[in-house]
Chains A and B, each alone.
Chain A
């Protein structure tokens, strides 16, 4: 075992270097940061927002699945088991049968928009409040969750 990890490292090293360089830097200057000097160090965290679902849900479950599972979008899989998702995280509850739980579209929408309204100390990012996901994105994800049975 001792020697294999070294050999694997040598073999994989250069290949992974190439793939790692492809990411474009994103701009998060609208959110608070850890700096003592940059303006983002003085930005306030957005307070919890209770957003109610307006009108009918009208979501697209297949698009919802894609958004929920894309790393640069919902990345819900980082914490939840979901239908059709590989390598799920384990910190949050299993959502692969969420549609059987009898939750309304409205409460699900509000929770995804900002889980802090339900649990102030939640680990779940405030997807709507912090504009990680749009109103439409969240509607589609709700449709996907409700269709997960």
Chain B
């Protein structure tokens, strides 16, 4: 009976004329879904209200400071959604060094061929503020572009260099690029039909169960699931406002990690086949998750 309700709900969404790609049941293999939460993409990060309801604790630095007593408390810390790590912003964590390295790389490549810079800047003279609008649909390329895929594309087409997504050089340039939007509220353009199509595909991926353990992303990151509960040593948090911090400096391994590399680690926990950074499924998930950060400031460099 639950299944009927779900099908009905999807049909209603489709009849409302949303951009959701609803594939007829017969075309798809049997799959199970975690019950879908009602997230209104237009609310951006505020959609966490009525979702995990942790937003009031981490919405800005003052609130995080006020609740910093929860840091290290195994039952409460998850409610801070990792934002307490940003209180270290003034300290010299290696994410800052990566920004400098990324800047030097961009300067070096731009010296070799100035077209590299203008490719990154989409013809403009500055990168400032641009990253806050990513991922975006690039009409000329005919696809959704992330900061990381823009870097890969420009390096390949202008310099004939491979700076692949999910590699340290790409992450360093990405963290520099995004640092030039630090503090700027994220504004993924949900008015763009192509972006919304990607959002709906990403949303669908978020709820579908896969892998040997039959988990969906939602099995750990939605209220009522494992979110907020201990999973041995870890406690999964809300998916809202995560994208703002990536690429992040991962202290346990001493390296930068893009959001798609983070997805890959969660896929590992789900015991499912890995897909690579840049894969269209990861791009759709990144669109979904970044819309859930709309209105929250780009918070790079960061540490986890």
Q: Which A residues contact B (CB, under 8 angstroms)?
A: 1-3, 5-6, 8-9, 12-14, 16-17, 20, 25-26, 28-29, 31-38, 40-45, 47, 71, 75, 77-79, 87-91, 116, 120-121, 123, 125-126, 130-132
Contact = CB atoms under 8 A, between A and B. Distances in A.
Nearest to B31: A45
Interface in B90-120: 90-93
A68 to B, nearest CB: 13
Given A32-B272, A35-B279, A91-B226, A6 B91 contact: yes
Contact of A42 (B29, B219, B231): B29
A5 B93 CA distance: 9
30 contacts: A1-B71, A6-B88, A6-B92, A9-B251, A9-B303, A12-B252, A14-B254, A20-B253, A26-B271, A33-B211, A33-B267, A34-B205, A34-B208, A34-B267, A35-B275, A36-B281, A45-B209, A45-B210, A87-B233, A89-B230, A89-B232, A91-B231, A120-B2, A121-B34, A123-B219, A123-B226, A125-B213, A130-B213, A131-B212, A132-B213
A28 B273 contact: yes
B232 to A, nearest CB: 5
Q: In the A-B complex, list the 6 residue pairs whose CB atoms are closest, starting with the nearest.
A: A44-B29, A9-B251, A13-B254, A33-B273, A91-B229, A125-B213
B273 to A, nearest CB: 4
Given A45-B209, A125-B213, A29 B273 contact: yes
Interface residues of B, number: 48
Interface string B203-227: 0010011111111000100000110
A116 B205 CA distance: 21
Interface in B240-298: 251-254, 267, 271-275, 279-281, 285
Contacts, number: 139
A5 B280 CA distance: 36
B226 A45 contact: no
Contacts of B229: 79, 89-91
